[in-house]
Amino acid sequence: MGNNSLSAPGALGQSLATSRASSPHAPPPYAPFLSHMPPPADSWIEVETTPSEYKLHIRLPGFKRDGITLSTKRRRILHIVADSWPDHDPSPRSSNANPSESSSSQRGGHFERRISFGYDADLVGVRAEFDGEMLKIVVPRRQGMNGATVPFL
């Protein structure tokens, strides 16, 4: 009987720890890395269509190049994700001369869009560049046999 009473508290403590870890109120282990902040109010997307390409201009103030990801899905969808985390470095060298940059980098943010294209979009040939505020994406359009673009289906 003494043996059972010694092992029971350990087993009980172990099951309580397990139930606490899987509790719906416990934050998931990845929570500190994800930002649930909305995108900055002054971010926007502009799409221009030409006979040879689609041009996307996306304003992403407060984001950095290493926080932007482009991916394609099913050869028709371009997935754009940008994340910015608050700057917690209190050193004077981290202060910016531009107050709008400073405020957006302090609050962080998340920008995410999925853009569907027609079958004429060549998502394998996507090119992008980011200048610190504007993300410019070029999606070439496939040309048909007679030089015309492939029609939307």
Model confidence pLDDT, tens digit, residues 40-86 = 678 889 999 999 999 999 999 989 999 999 999 988 999 999 998 87
User: Per residue, what are the HEC states of 33-66?
Assistant: HCCCCCCCCCCEEEEEECCCEEEEEEECCCCCHH
- What's the predicted TM-score (pTM) here? 0.61
For the chain, the residue count is 153
| Rounded CA separation 43/35 (Å) | 16
The first and second tokens of residue 150, run together, are 């492939």
Model confidence pLDDT, tens digit, residues 104-148 = 445 568 899 999 999 999 999 999 999 999 999 999 999 875 555
Annotation: CATH topology of 35-140? Immunoglobulin-like (2.60.40)
Q: Where are the domains of the chain?
A: 35-140
